[in-house]
């Protein structure tokens, strides 16, 4: 066991955990971040995606030791984030989620993309979403919501 110290949604946390355990387990259990979904556990579905220092990462493939001293953001942080709030509202407006299981990870990936690039191409949106598996088949609405978020962010200036 070791102590993992990092920022979680803007708050300093220090948690005792196995250094090689995956971040998803640290976030969901001792940190009680139930907004981080546990999907496949093998990096194939994207449900567990969080942002680490602004970069979307699947937390099931991220060892605890790698987030020491870093900034970890979960879907709970989106309403307070200027870009995340726009992405979240666009997904609501387009009714992009059906069952809601995969959508948290997609929200994190689209937010990270739009924080890095305000005018991504359709290919970049597709590439970002390719890391996510949606079993409900709402892909068209998810892409439409991503485009709506881009439009709204660019209208703000």
The structural domains of the chain, with segments of one domain joined by +, span 2-74, 77-156
Stated pTM of the model: 0.94
CATH topology of domain 77-156: DNA polymerase; domain 1 (1.10.150)
Number of Cβ within a 10 Å radius of residue 91:
24
Does residue 18 or residue 113 have the better pLDDT? 113
Give the pLDDT of residue 157: 66
Pick the CATH number of 2-74 from 3.30.450.20, 3.40.640.10, 3.10.20.30, 3.80.10.10: 3.10.20.30
- Computed on alpha carbons and rounded to an integer, the radius of gyration of the chain in Å comes to 15
Task: Render pLDDT for 31-48 as a digit per residue (tens, 0 to 9).
Answer: 999 999 999 889 899 999
């Amino acid at each position: 066991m070791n102590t993992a110290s990092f920022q979680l949604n803007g708050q300093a946390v220090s948690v005792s955990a196995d250094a090689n355990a995956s971040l998803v387990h640290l976030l969901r259990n001792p940190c009680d971040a139930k907004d981080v979904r546990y999907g496949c556990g093998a990096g194939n579905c994207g449900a567990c995606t969080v942002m680490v220092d602004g970069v979307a990462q699947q937390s099931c493939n991220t060892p605890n030791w790698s987030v020491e001293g870093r900034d970890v953001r979960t879907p709970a942080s989106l309403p307070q984030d200027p870009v995340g709030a726009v992405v979240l509202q666009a997904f609501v407006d387009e009714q992009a989620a059906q069952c809601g299981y995969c959508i948290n990870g997609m929200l994190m990936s689209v937010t990270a993309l739009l924080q890095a690039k305000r005018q991504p191409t359709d290919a970049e949106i597709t590439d970002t979403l390719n890391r996510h598996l949606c079993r409900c088949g709402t892909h068209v609405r998810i892409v439409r919501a991503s485009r709506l978020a881009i439009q709204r962010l660019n209208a703000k200036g």
